[in-house]
Homo-oligomer: A and B are copies of this chain.
Amino acid sequence: MAKLTEIENLADRLHSTAIHLLRLVRVQDAATGIAPARLSALSVLVFGGPMSLNQLAQAEQVRPPTMSRIVDALESEDLVRRTTDKRDRRAVVIEATEKGTAILWQGRKRRVKFLAKHLSRLSEVERQQIADAIQAIQKAMAESKRD
């Protein structure tokens, strides 16, 4: 057994907790009827507004061919719309449709309510601990660009 420092131990528990949290919540997203990668891309479009395929691929940390296919699927279900950019006719502008926006909000609401139900069992103090930790974690991750 390798010995871990205090901080490494914290890192390990943090990682494991994040995995379990997402695993728990993922079930809710399945109820939207939209596969995870598609749901996630749609979410970027709804909250980030219309954008090009490359931008969307970058936002999702995925290669363009992968995103192209995801957009194909979303488009065929009428959840997003592709139009060619007027200023650069190579580029496409992808935007969420009304239907896509509505479905995404429903799903998000379900997921958030589910998680909130769990959090509501905690004390005010515990929730504050989580809020503080979120701040700290984001701060720690923000400095990752330099590595």
Contacts and interface: CB of A to CB of B under 8 A. Distances in A.
Nearest to A40: B19
A92 B23 CA distance: 27
Dominant secondary structure at the A interface: helix
How many subunits of this chain does the assembly comprise? 2
A38 to B, nearest CB: 15
Interface stretch (A49-57, A81-89, A104-112): A104-112
Nearest to A23: B61
A17 interface: yes
A20 B130 contact: no
Given A112-B4, A129-B133, A136-B130, A22 B11 contact: no
Contacts of A25: 15
Contact of A21 (B4, B13, B14, B118): B14
A113 B115 CA distance: 30
A7 B23 CA distance: 20
Contact of A116 (B8, B117, B122, B147): B8
Contacts of A7: 116, 119-120, 127
15 contacts: A7-B119, A7-B120, A7-B127, A10-B116, A11-B115, A11-B116, A12-B115, A14-B21, A15-B111, A15-B115, A17-B138, A18-B22, A118-B144, A126-B140, A132-B133
